[in-house]
Amino acid sequence: MYENKIKKTEILQKEINQFRPLKPRELKELKEYFKIRLTYSSNALEGNSLTETETKIIIEEGITIGGKPLRDHYEVSGHSDSYDLMYRLIKHESISEKDILKLHKLFYYRINIKQAGKYRKDQVFITGTDFIPPRPQNITYMMNEFVDSLPILKKSKNPVEFAALIHKELVTIHPFIDGNGRCARLLMNLALLQQGYPIIIIPPILRNDYINTIKKTQIKPELDDKPFINFISSMVYESQKDYLRMLNALD
């Protein structure tokens, strides 16, 4: 069971803010460091077989890894492209439906160009859970409602809680045929970056905890969103400590 660490994240965020503004070179180094870590971890959570070192080689050198599936390479390249878009969107104050569709399109177009950036037309089922995603004919309406709710939600919630709820809501709507988890994690990080927080990493070793806390919010609404918010707040806290370690090294 994860404890709520939002108060602790607020304290660490004040420490992080004391290092700002960072030099352009420092910002570039941090951006590239987290691109590899987030791409590796987010893909690994979904079963991608490439290691973090192999992910780095593909992103930085464009070299294919012998014996590894072509799709795994596509997922690395696609996530890298979506990550770059995420950074360009930081300057925006809000998140639009167009942003979400573009993030998915960049991630998925190498895998299936016809489904990239498009809402699914078929009913899907998720293995390992009793939760059944919404019917495809309801997705456009639900996504419009979701995006319209974001400005009010942002004003009423702590940045960490806001980011967690964005993630939870997108994977619950499950708007795409594939890539929903990766898109949700990019969107969650975009929400954090827009409010000055660093990128958070969910280690693949915590995959079961991560999935189980999402399940609890989907199949047992009486538990509210607390299990998932607590989990994400713990991930933010750990990532902040890592970020501070790097800032101190740069300083």
Catalytic residues: 174
Scored b (16 or more CB within 10 A) or e, 83-103 reads: bebbbebeeeeebeeebbbbb
Tokens of 217: 């919010």
